Amino acid sequence: MSGELSPIDKAKFVAAKRAVDFVEDGMRVGLGTGSTAAWMVRCLGELVREDGLRIKGVPTSSRTAELARDCGITVVSLDEARWLDLTIDGADEFDQDLNLIKGGGGALLQEKIVATASDQMIVIADVGKEVEHLGHFPLPLEVIPFGWQTTQALAEEMLISMDVLGRQSSLRMNGAAPYVTDEGNYILDLHLNRIGNARQLAMVLNQIPGVVENGLFIDICDKVVVGFGDGRVEVRDINDGSIEEGRLDFLEDDNLFRDLGE
């Protein structure tokens, strides 16, 4: 497998592989959405099939639910699980305080609900997702379809008073039609370039009529597992400030992800 993976894919794989070490038998686990989270779901599926790991997975999107079932993971709703031991998910950006931008995959609402209903959230990411200041990646804003252009105008006007470098926004598209989330909403991508006060911005955005949720995850992530293209992996814990370093070796005959569609 390793000969077929790009350095970024290797970094995603080692982060996902290391993160599932935190999953214990009997846990209720939130399953994130996105390319890196898909590697994690496949790793968990392997543990379920080959090691007899017993878990209940709460997916954060319909496509993650489908993948989890295909991998043999028992899937339940958040209402059935009620509370989770752990959520493992990816991120589009993270800073040194483990604040995040999420939603590039369009599942930010369910991702935030699931993450905040967990005892612990672990983020898995390749090292390229680490930034000094959030905002280079467009900030997703989930909005209801009714009056979305008014909501967009209100958001752009509000950004004038915020500590950001850009104030443009765009409606996320799926071909010729607006992208629609699992909850039937639209997504506005805010092109901010740099966010000076993420906590303030998150609170203000959610006060705009028509906004359902924003993609800033503040004080939610407990650990980030950072993968590198050479197989190195770091586990950074925001609670105790520790950094654990390691390395995962690749097996040439490891075909765990041979049919994974990114």
Residues placed in the known binding site for substrate: 33-36, 89-92, 102-105, 129
| Given 111, 142, 183, 245, the catalytic residue | 111
Distance in angstroms (rounded) separating the CA atoms of residues 256 and 247: 19
- The answer to whether residue 111 is catalytic is yes
Supply the DSSP symbol for 138: P
Task: List beta partners, residue 211.
Answer: 143
DSSP line for 48-71: HHHH----EEEESSHHHHHHHHHT
Residue 28 CB coordination number (10 Å): 22
The binding site consists of 33-36, 89-92, 102-105, 129
Q: How far is C-alpha 142 from the chain's CA centre? A: 15
Residue 94's identity, in one-letter code, is: F
User: Which residues lie below 8 Å from residue 219, measured CB to CB, with a gap of 6+?
Assistant: 99, 199
Say if residues 218 and 202 touch (Cβ distance below 8 Å): yes
Alpha carbon distances (Å) from 226 to 15, 84, 98, 126, 234:
6, 23, 12, 5, 5
Give kind and range of the element (H or E) at residue 157: helix 148-159
Phi (first) and psi of residue 234, to 5 degrees = -120, 140
Supply the DSSP symbol for 47: H
Residue 70 CB coordination number (10 Å): 12
- Catalytic residue IDs: 111
